[in-house]
Chains A and B, each alone.
Chain A
């Protein structure tokens, strides 16, 4: 019974759904303030979701219908499964030694599904966006993986919860490995395909990328997947780089965790508002010539400190 509650309500799917909508709203609101706009009311993400669910679901001619229906469900499932292994404020859904690797794998699945969504579509924008998403995945995933490895090396464990607890006894990884945190943040922006790395879905170039031909329920599921991925990516970074709550012993862990997550979300929103989109070749240059070598340096440094 307890396990079921953990899976379905907290810190499982119900909580994740609400957090996804809430984070989406905070993000939109923040960017709106940067733009000098007011931004949407709090229920806007939910209203958008319901509206899309109710809309007519059109499958374009030439698109593989079964795959188009399966892909959003597969990616949503992968993201929801990953959520079970990411502790929220010290509350663990499920945990075992090596769950960090499982989570990273599960969070990589939506990227593959996103590429396939472009591949099975008949539209040229989708195909081009799909190609771009794969290129972007390769350039961003490598520095991201290398950066999130560093806290694991330091803690000597592949369990997210262990890494988080280890920091409670020592110090935040973001303090001991600031470079690693910045790399992970940039990698996360690329993974989530957010501004300024929204290259696969750049509106002025490929309309909406792989999702151009999706509509109705499927699009709603895609959006939900993206929003949940954002939440999980942020939760993962909080656990890996700002884990534990040694400095806030007197306050409960959960609000502190929420504050840390929102702080990272604000960093993402700021980056969205401040920078112009890169070209895909510029991103590859950035990923392979700058971020990956820096991540390597961070790993070596971590091995040196830890060893």
Chain B
């Protein structure tokens, strides 16, 4: 058997984000792999200590290009905990609405990337077309398709008018139909299943050992969802189930994500229908009393963790971000061992990497 070393990344058609793999091959089978990351390290945590609490909202929103809102929201929550203020219910609902839209957008984008990497371009085009609906709604809500800048410490900045509400509900119906259709394709398309079933296996033990979170963990049978486990407004008032599968392969991850997308569409509807009237924000002081706070929320890729420490000035003494991609990254050498070269693309797309998040 010939031994080859195949470089994947930092520039490769498979990975759009900068991450470098060296795949050791024996024939077509992967025997070993090494990983190099840090290409998009921007030092955001350090930069956070240079800027005021308010400036940091815009900085942490740029940690990720897909789940920008949930970063800003989690950061704001941590600061609000330090300040001891509660956001008004309407603001909490609006924040959750954008979170769910972001989840829809992220999962559909991911489905497209997976489909493209297994050569099913049709589903790639359909998934990204349907994702546009979610982007349009977000644009209507905040003015931005990717960066929304709606969070402020103490609430949100932009409101939803009754006319917008009707329009969004209508768009959600379209989205619901299209996501259902995509789920049907994923459930019934044999050629997609032959490529994803039994690939990238992660057992429940491995998931626990590497602290994997989010859809990847739920596809391996770990029942964890921040929205349900640490309920805050409005999730404590809404009922929703958390899709779970036990196979632990890319196929199970696909199902988990698509079912989650459907649930998110449903949640968006409920949030819009039950949104209470009231103010959008409360006034927050510029100086934050000394102390430390942690804030966790369910980003599209899993649990997002923010730690903020204040020394009583208007700049934080420390901001620590733990993104859900990091533990998934660490499992990759395990998942890659023994698969064929063709499955490398499936494994790498299966975990839904966000290198910008992981590098910060």
Contacts and interface: CB of A to CB of B under 8 A. Distances in A.
B128 to A, nearest CB: 10
A280 B6 contact: no
B345 interface: yes
A35 B122 contact: yes
Size bin of chain B's contact surface: 20 to 34
Given A281-B340, A282-B194, A273 B13 contact: no
B119 interface: yes
Q: Is the interface of B mostly helix, strand, loop or mixed?
A: helix
B340 A280 contact: yes
Interface stretch (A16-24, A148-156, A201-209): A201-209
A124 B6 contact: yes
Contacts of A29: none
Interface stretch (A45-53, A59-67, A192-200): A192-200
B192 interface: yes
Contacts of A196: 119, 191
A128 B122 contact: no
A128 B25 CA distance: 10
B345 A278 contact: no
A276 B126 contact: no
B342 A35 contact: no
Interface string B142-169: 0000000000000000000000000000
Interface string B324-352: 00000000000000001111110001000
A274 interface: yes
Interface string A243-285: 0000000000000000000000000000001111111111000
Contacts of A282: 194
A34 interface: yes
Contact of B120 (A132, A199, A275, A280): A275
Given A36-B126, A204-B13, A273 B340 contact: no
A276 B195 contact: yes
A36 B129 contact: yes
A194 B194 CA distance: 19
B36 interface: no
B204 interface: no
B4 A205 contact: no
B5 interface: yes
B12 A277 contact: no
Interface string B1-41: 00011110000111000000000010010000000000000
B283 to A, nearest CB: 48
Interface residues of A, number: 30
A34 B123 CA distance: 10
Contacts of A275: 120, 191
A274 B122 contact: yes
Interface stretch (B96-104, B110-118, B212-220, B244-252): B110-118
Contacts of B342: 199, 202, 205, 277, 279-280
B277 interface: no
A193 B116 CA distance: 17
Contact of A124 (B7, B13, B120, B129): B7
B116 A276 contact: no
A100 interface: no
A196 B342 CA distance: 13
A137 interface: no
Given A275-B120, A276-B119, A204 B14 contact: yes
Nearest to A207: B13
A281 B198 CA distance: 15
Q: Which of B25, B118, B194, B340 has the most CB of A within 10 A?
A: B118
B345 A279 contact: no
Nearest to A281: B340
Contact of B28 (A36, A273, A277, A280): A280
Contacts of A204: 13-14, 116-119, 345, 349
Given A205-B14, A205-B342, A125 B119 contact: no
B178 to A, nearest CB: 11
Contact of B340 (A35, A276, A279): A279
Interface of B: 4-7, 12-14, 25, 28, 115-122, 125-126, 129, 189, 191-192, 194-195, 340-345, 349
Interface of A: 31, 34-37, 124-125, 127-128, 132, 195-196, 198-199, 202-207, 273-282
5 contacts: A36-B125, A124-B4, A279-B343, A281-B28, A281-B340
